[in-house]
Structure formats: C-alpha cells, structure tokens
Amino acid sequence: MRKILRPPELIDDDWRYAAEDTAGAAGVIVPVAQFLAEATAWAGKTVGVRVAPADRVEDLAPHLKEVSLVAVEFPSMSDGRGYSWARLLRQQYGFKGEIRAVGAGVKRDLLFAMARTGFDSFELAPGQTLEGALESLATFCLAYQEGVPVRGVQITRFAAR
C-alpha cells in the first residue's frame, strides 16, 4: 500500500495509476507520453500525468488546464530534475493542481526542500514512515532562500493516509 502525505483538502482523492485497477478511482495517473498521444481521449476526465526523468515538462505546458495532478518521479535521492520541474509548473506555467513527488527518492530528508519548490503531496519511498515524514516537515521553520508560494509547509496542514 502506498503511503501518501498531502494537505487535508486532498485526502479524499483516490488516484490510481493506469496499470492498476482504476474502477472507482477519483482519477487516473498516466505516463506523460501516453497522455500526449491520447490527449483528446482524456478530455472531460479527471486525469493525472506521471513525469519520468527523461520526459520534458515543457511538452505538458499547453495541456495543464486538462490535468489535475502531476506526479514527478524521483528515481533516486540524487536526481534533482524534479525540483526544477515543480518550480516551472508553479511559477512559469501557473499550474494550480496537485504536484506529487513519487519514486524511490522521496525520502523524509528531502520533503522540506520539495515542498519549498512547489510539491504539495508526497508518495513516500518504501521503508519511509508517515510519522517520520511529518516530523521532517516540522524540523525547519525558516528558510533563507525564496520558495514557491503554495500551501504552507506546516505539520497541521498535512494528513497521512
């Protein structure tokens, strides 16, 4: 079972990946290449897009009004492209939907930095605990660098599921 940390207003959303059983799901998350190839087929449906490291988030920009969630993959802790993509989505493309960090690199040590670049939900890597993730978000209360103005990074703003 996936461990997802997100703001309480998003807690009832039940997103599933296209490879899973999507019956009864609130929305379906598909790879960006599939979404772009079948863009007209997704019209009017609640759809999320999974962006892999080799994908270009710029290709998704003209379609962001049709997307409710962007799941950015972090295959390891050392791959930082997702930080830039979240910032681009929020600041350059004005994306207002949910940006979720997913993959083996989504670990408690990085959540605060991820939240400051525009992520507002986190699908934790295997072995990570929801309690540890919440603690990590409360570790820092001050940042020297400017961040993306999104939902506040406060322990009271997140709920575990």
Question: Given this model, what pLDDT does residue 150 score?
Answer: 46
User: Which residue positions in the chain have pLDDT lower than 70?
Assistant: 10-12, 141-161
Kindly provide the residue ranges of all beta strands, DSSP E only, lying in the chain, ordered along the sequence. Answer: 4-6, 15-17, 27-31, 47-51, 69-73, 98-102, 121-123, 159-160
In angstroms, the CA 135 to CA 88 distance is: 27
* Cβ proximity of 47 and 67 under 8 Å: yes
pTM of the model: 0.85
* Cβ proximity of 134 and 3 under 8 Å: no
Question: Given this model, what pLDDT does residue 154 score?
Answer: 44
Question: Given this model, what pLDDT does residue 68 score?
Answer: 93
| 4-160 under CATH 3.40.50, yes or no | yes
Question: Given this model, what pLDDT does residue 141 score?
Answer: 65
Question: Given this model, what pLDDT does residue 89 score?
Answer: 94
Question: Given this model, what pLDDT does residue 159 score?
Answer: 55
pLDDT in tens, 34-79: 999 998 888 888 899 999 988 999 999 999 999 999 999 999 888 8
Question: Given this model, what pLDDT does residue 11 score?
Answer: 65
